[in-house]
Amino acid sequence: MKKKRYVKLKGENMMMTLIILFVVATFITSFIGQAKLQSHNSELQRLKSKIQTQEQLNASIQMKINELSSLDNALEVADTFGLKYNNSNIRVVSK
């Protein structure tokens, strides 16, 4: 029985090299894409945390503003400076 001889065609080595390079490039591209995605996700989480902290600070400051702008506090400050409460002189200013 005769053994079949395998004959390499012209450019077969080049085709195999290109296929291997394509597979390696695909894996490298996928790896880099996953790394960038992870980086962006961590940045997003950091920014969300920063926003949440700022919102809590804003709420705290708003509570303090409401407390300081209350009528009781205004009367207390007026008494401290020797002023009298006169409702006709009060003007409400809003944005």
Quote the number of domains for the chain: 1
Residue 89 in any domain: the answer is no
Residue 17 in any domain: the answer is no
Under 8 Å between Cβ of 61 and 68: no
For 44-58, write each residue's pLDDT tens digit: 999 999 999 999 999
Residue 65 in any domain: the answer is yes
| pLDDT: which is higher, 30 or 90 | 30
Residue 71 in any domain: the answer is yes
Residue 24 scores a pLDDT above 90: yes
**What is the torsional sign of CA 76, 81, 87, 93?**
negative
Residue 9 in any domain: the answer is no
Range of the domain at 68: 22-84
The model scores a pTM over 0.85? no
| Percent of the chain whose pLDDT exceeds 70 | 99
